[in-house]
Structure 1
Amino acid sequence: MGENCCQNKAKNDNKTDQDANVYTSPYDPTQEPIFPPDLKINFEEYNKKALMFKTNEVKWYRPVTLTDLLELKEEYPDSKIIIGNTEVGIESRFKNMKYSVLVNASHVPELTDIKFTEDGIKFGASVTLSNVEEVLEKAKGDLPEEKTRVFTAVIEMLKWFSSKQIRNTASIGGNIMTASPISDLNPIFQASTTRLEVVSKGSKSKELLMDKDFFQSYRQTIISASDVLLSVTIPFSGKDEYFESYKQALRKDDDIAIVNAGMRVVFENESDIIKELYLSYGGMAATTVMAKTTMQKLIGRKWDNNLVQVACQTLEDDLPLNADAPGGTIEYRRTLTTSFFFKFYLTVAQQLYNKEIIHNTPIPRSHLSAIETPELGPSTGSQVYELVGAAQKDDNPIGRPIVHTSAYQQATGEAVYVDDMLPLKGELFIAPVYSSKAHATLLNIDTSVSLEIHGVIGYIDHRDIKGVNYLEVIEEQFLAVDEVIV
């Protein structure tokens, strides 16, 4: 404010400077700072208005009517519709993806509506995963158990779906349209044949099923570029229908899946004869896939021990993985596909036994633990230390429980790790090459195939070390020379 700046005037620690409109009372750390009233916004009025922000590189739209949304999608068919920006934000920052047009559909009423129908619960595509979880939990408490088995599977999966903050912003429609091959929810939606409603400008809405043909290729579905996903109907389950979902990751909380699955079986009326079977897997191909041959082969069979053997024989053919498949751990992932089915078999067999549909339980007591989900509760920690003497100076840390210098940054999320850093131009990465034998004589290393891979710059071995190729702490060579010992 030039000459009228508050710094050019005499300070008054107890009054408001009316000319500069600056409150100059001293800060009191015991009081919560008051948010400036002039900065408060009438959100109700603000949320009813369409917005558009534009830079030289990006146009960002926020329509508030379905008509406006459809017009934008027709004008920009390659635009990205976003809700929580949980996928596009990561792609833009870490994968250097560029999107010239972004459309935020979080304020379109038709996409945020939730309705109960005769067949299930219809969620607008912009409904957040936290709201989906809340509605399904309430429905689970209000409706009969046999009607909410798909809901239970979704609720269980959402417990381990990313973090609470992500679920508060990410939408159910965004999860489907992203079409990730390791999506935690898409195998459930595909196995339950969830119904989708899509619409484009000038056309009536149409219904699509998330069936075996829904995912076409990597990140591609049968929904066309000009269509907008309106709603997702998660179906009620039936009396003779059983549903389960499974996920295996490196850790239980907030981690992407190695392999996940949604499984549904429908029996002939109050029997153990399979009428329909749906087995959907993520993490086993470029898309979420269904084990079509296995599903077809098991129809008409009894739900008994012989079923598992037949399923394991065909699942490997249904879900092949090349040795160089992205993600690695090929044998482990193949094993998980059959392990999940075995767990599904045990769970359903126990439920049929409890309903007296089968009278001789096929489950040995030693196998019952496979269908349990133990709740471990939050982790705890403790520190044991001795009290130091009174004569020890305060600045002497020996024997004191001193906080690690980076502890607060790690606990608050302020610590910056290598994965948080954007790669630099020309930056290289190094990866160790391990022997396939635990203890063997090293005769030769053939690097020709690896060096032909695009992006591979070179290979390093013991001859490149300028110094001593030896780790004294563990008494072992750093890089193998003539023998592999571990």
Structure 2
Amino acid sequence: MHQLLEIKDAYPEAKVIGGSSETQIEIKFKARQYTHSVYVGDIPELKQYTFTDDYLDLGANVSLTDLEEICDEALQRYGPTKAQPFIAIKKQIRYFAGRQIRNVASPAGNIATASPISDLNPVFVATGTILFAKSLKEEVQIPMDQFFKGYRTTALPANAVVAKLRIPISQENGEYLRAYKQAKRKDDDIAIVNAALRVSLSDSNVVMSANLVYGGMAPTTIPAKKAEEFIVGKIWTDPATVEGVMDALGQDFDLPSSVPGGMPTYRKTLAFGFFYRFYHDVLSSIQGVKVHCEENAVSEIERGLSSGVKDHEATAAYTQKIVGKATPTVSALLQTTGEAQYTDDIPVQKNELFGCLVLSTKARAKILSIDFTPALDIPGVVNYVSAKDLLNPESNWWGAPVSDEIYFAVNEVVTDGQPLGMIVATSARLAEAGSRAVKVEYEVLPAILTIEQAIEHNSFFNHITPAIKKGDVEAAFASSDHVYSGTTRIGGQEHFYLETHACVVVPKPEYDEIEVFSSTQNPAEV
């Protein structure tokens, strides 16, 4: 631990790596580069935990898989009432990513990443957890409700690390804590909205304090302050309480239609729904109070394992040589045994080069300049290819079925991600680095989103204009008894194939040919 603090003191910008589940995403998809990094996965002090009568001191780099077992231990030690924070934590962990990620991910990683949709951070804020940030010279305590300062920014000092968390237990009487999460699928998915809701009631069911903490409703994990202020002093069993909280939540989370992440109405509905479930859950837990409680709002919906049955007898009467038989795909056996050979399985050949496309970052813009020089300055980058290197302008047109799309953009880009050129290097990694180094200057143009806008901007497909004509259209209209005029719109479009492709091209100069190994399902289009 002392060595870690010395490194952070000397290199405050050093990236602390625990499970690296978030860091690898940043490196692969966001092209982040870290000049210094330090691995902390094997530091014993960051994996220790201690139970006391009032709280759990938890090493910040305990794996989430181990944290599940610690929560079980806390439940046995404190009982179900006092262990409510740990029950909530374990519930959130159950649907947190997959087991492989939970085996390496840690609370510190969740906290320091400061994702606004973290499943654990709302629980830490709602329970009043204290974070201990340790540096070489001092240790500071930061309440979790003061830790998140903005989108992906925190109060953690640059030269400090998250050392441990102090998670208080719940009170014996009158305190209730629940955690919720809604994602697009139940398991192994990020949250759309999540929440940790805590309330403390007096003997007469008056709300003494409340923490209504949400994720996915703002750039940070955030408490619903107006709702918290409203509910304190109210009688929980009074139906007007839930109505007032709903109004206050509407003020707390007045999401505009342009909110990052979209779905403002749905997200607000989830926020309301979580509190509604919490309200009735608490009602059902209060002893001796006869108040209508909606059990359907409280109970969890559990889906069992799916199963299926094949009925081979039903098709027996229709069985022919091929039709009606369960015939395996030709390549199925090789694929299931791992013997199938793919493009990436082809051995690297001598002097083989790798290409990576340079893609547009604008939806529609004029290309003012493309500077490949920074890429060529990288050792291992050999060259670049653009439309200027093709045999003729016609070679730059492609696309099924009539070759009506430009491949390498010329003068103007019409889609985000349109290829501008290709960097060629001695390895795939260097080609990707070279692609990121290319500097492109744009003049952004107005987006064309409708047919009317296309006509207004004189944006037509002039390269190829296929048409199907039969008969005299004008004469047919002229001789018709009735003519209806108007406009119809068809929203269909060609399917976008979300498939990764790769190919290996082997020059054969002696035959003035090239040999292409491609992952495509349509060799005629290569």
Task: Write the letter of the residue equivalent to 2:86.
Answer: F
| Counterpart residue number, 1:225 | 158
Q: Cα gap change, 1:460/1:154 in structure 2, threshold over 3 Å: closer, same or farther? A: same
d(CA) in 2 for partners of 1:99, 1:397: 58
Q: Tell me, what secondary structure is at the counterpart of 2:268?
A: helix
How far off its partner does 1:468 sit?
Answer: 6.9
How far off its partner does 1:139 sit?
Answer: 2.3
Q: For residues 284-319 of structure 1, give each alpha carbon's deviation from its aligned partner in whole angstroms, at most 9, with x where no partner exists.
A: 111111111210111011003111111111112112
d(CA) in 1 for partners of 2:118, 2:341: 28
Q: Tell me, what secondary structure is at the counterpart of 1:425?
A: strand
| Counterpart residue number, 1:331 | 265
Q: Please say if residues 362 and 444 of structure 2, whose CA atoms lie closer than 8 Å, have aligned partners that are also in contact.
A: no
Which of 358, 368, 377 is equivalent to 2:295? 368
Q: Cα gap change, 1:379/1:295 in structure 2, threshold over 3 Å: closer, same or farther? A: same
Task: Write the letter of the residue equivalent to 2:298.
Answer: I
Report whether the alignment pairs 1:84 with 2:19.
Answer: yes
Report whether the alignment pairs 1:400 with 2:326.
Answer: yes
Report whether the alignment pairs 1:170 with 2:105.
Answer: yes
1:415-434 correspondence runs (5 A): 424-426=357-359
How far off its partner does 1:374 sit?
Answer: 2.9
Q: Cα gap change, 1:105/1:453 in structure 2, threshold over 3 Å: closer, same or farther? A: farther
Q: Cα gap change, 1:455/1:425 in structure 2, threshold over 3 Å: closer, same or farther? A: farther
Q: Please say if residues 64 and 103 of structure 2, whose CA atoms lie closer than 8 Å, have aligned partners that are also in contact.
A: yes
Q: Tell me, what secondary structure is at the counterpart of 2:359?
A: coil
Q: Cα gap change, 1:126/1:237 in structure 2, threshold over 3 Å: closer, same or farther? A: same
Q: Tell me, what secondary structure is at the counterpart of 2:103?
A: helix
d(CA) in 1 for partners of 2:182, 2:333: 30
Q: For residues 352-387 of structure 1, give each alpha carbon's deviation from its aligned partner in whole angstroms, at most 9, with x where no partner exists.
A: 1xx22xx22232xxx311110132222223333347
Task: Write the letter of the residue equivalent to 1:256.
Answer: I
| Counterpart residue number, 2:183 | 249
The TM-score, its normalising length taken from structure 2, stands at 0.65
d(CA) in 1 for partners of 2:158, 2:451: 50
Q: Please say if residues 14 and 37 of structure 2, whose CA atoms lie closer than 8 Å, have aligned partners that are also in contact.
A: yes
Task: Write the letter of the residue equivalent to 2:270.
Answer: L
| Counterpart residue number, 2:421 | none
Which of 218, 223, 228 is equivalent to 1:285? 218
1:378-397 correspondence runs (5 A): 378-386=305-313, 396=322
| Counterpart residue number, 1:98 | 33
Task: Write the letter of the residue equivalent to 2:291.
Answer: T
d(CA) in 2 for partners of 1:453, 1:258: 35
Q: Cα gap change, 1:374/1:128 in structure 2, threshold over 3 Å: closer, same or farther? A: same
Q: Please say if residues 406 and 415 of structure 1, whose CA atoms lie closer than 8 Å, have aligned partners that are also in contact.
A: no
Task: Write the letter of the residue equivalent to 1:235.
Answer: P
How far off its partner does 1:275 sit?
Answer: 0.4
d(CA) in 2 for partners of 1:458, 1:330: 25
Q: Cα gap change, 1:410/1:380 in structure 2, threshold over 3 Å: closer, same or farther? A: farther
1:143-154 correspondence runs (5 A): 143-154=78-89
The TM-score, its normalising length taken from structure 1, stands at 0.70
d(CA) in 2 for partners of 1:195, 1:370: 32
Q: Please say if residues 112 and 124 of structure 1, whose CA atoms lie closer than 8 Å, have aligned partners that are also in contact.
A: yes
Q: Tell me, what secondary structure is at the counterpart of 2:21?
A: coil
Report whether the alignment pairs 1:215 with 2:148.
Answer: yes
Q: For residues 32-79 of structure 1, give each alpha carbon's deviation from its aligned partner in whole angstroms, at most 9, with x where no partner exists.
A: xxxxxxxxxxxxxxxxxxxxxxxxxxxxxxxxxx11101111111111
d(CA) in 2 for partners of 1:330, 1:455: 29
Q: Please say if residues 182 and 260 of structure 1, whose CA atoms lie closer than 8 Å, have aligned partners that are also in contact.
A: yes
Q: Comparing both structures, which one devotes a greater share of its residues to strand?
A: 2
d(CA) in 1 for partners of 2:137, 2:14: 18
| Counterpart residue number, 2:10 | 75
Task: Give me the CA root mean square deviation.
Answer: 3.5
How far off its partner does 1:202 sit?
Answer: 1.7
| Counterpart residue number, 2:68 | 133
Task: Write the letter of the residue equivalent to 1:362.
Answer: H
Count of residue correspondences = 374
Q: For residues 185-226 of structure 1, give each alpha carbon's deviation from its aligned partner in whole angstroms, at most 9, with x where no partner exists.
A: 1011111111111111122x2222111x32100111111111
Which of 59, 68, 71 is equivalent to 1:124? 59
d(CA) in 2 for partners of 1:126, 1:183: 16
d(CA) in 2 for partners of 1:276, 1:411: 60
d(CA) in 2 for partners of 1:176, 1:410: 40
Q: Cα gap change, 1:468/1:80 in structure 2, threshold over 3 Å: closer, same or farther? A: farther
d(CA) in 1 for partners of 2:35, 2:159: 16
User: Which blocks of at least 5 consecutive residues in structure 2 are unaligned?
Assistant: 343-354, 365-414, 417-441, 455-459, 469-485, 492-526
d(CA) in 1 for partners of 2:128, 2:329: 53
Q: Tell me, what secondary structure is at the counterpart of 1:143?
A: helix
Report whether the alignment pairs 1:317 with 2:251.
Answer: yes
Q: Tell me, what secondary structure is at the counterpart of 2:236?
A: coil
| Counterpart residue number, 1:298 | 231
Q: For residues 418-470 of structure 1, give each alpha carbon's deviation from its aligned partner in whole angstroms, at most 9, with x where no partner exists.
A: xxxx9942157989xxxxxxxxxxxxxxxxxx99997986547497575579x
| Counterpart residue number, 1:195 | 130
Task: Write the letter of the residue equivalent to 1:385.
Answer: H
